[in-house]
Structure 1
Amino acid sequence: MEKTLLNVEGMSCGHCVKAVEGSVGKLDGVERVLVDLSAKTVAVEYNNDSVSLDEIKETIEDQGYDVV
């Protein structure tokens, strides 16, 4: 199990949290997603045999946010 903390720009409200947590949480291999709006971060626990970090970043960016 891998853990990573991503810095994400553009999240500002509860809808943003639901969009990111919902989309990333649906990926195979993702065990946990936690958005912190005030810190502008997304913490992800995932199995790197099932999903790559690039896939997670792309999923966040597909929701309209920038992974920095």
Structure 2
Amino acid sequence: MQTTTYSVTGMTCNHCVSSVSAEVGRLPGVTAVEVDLASGAVAVTSEEPLDREAVAAAVDEAGYELAVTP
């Protein structure tokens, strides 16, 4: 198992949290998703490392955006 934390922008309420959790949770191999609304942090636990682009696409499908990493 591996946990990776991403930063998501645009979330403002519990519905946002639910949407992001549901979309990211549908990715193959994902076993858990924890979203911290206050910080925008999304911790994703998966069986294997996830492709960042796949996570970004799932977050986009939910209506939000992964923060750009330097």
- Say whether the fold is shared (TM-score over 0.5): yes
Matches within 5 A, 1:52-63: 52-63=51-62
Stretches of structure 2 lacking an aligned partner (at least 5 in a row) = none
TM-score normalised by L of structure 2: 0.83
Stretches of structure 1 lacking an aligned partner (at least 5 in a row) = none
Amino acid paired to 1:7: S
CA RMSD of aligned residues (A): 1.5
Are 2:10 and 1:10 equivalent residues in the alignment? yes
Distance, in Å, in 1 between the alignment partners of 2:56 and 2:66 is 6
Count of aligned residue pairs for this structure pair: 67
Q: Percent identity?
A: 36
Runs of 4 or more, structure 1, over 6 Å off, are none
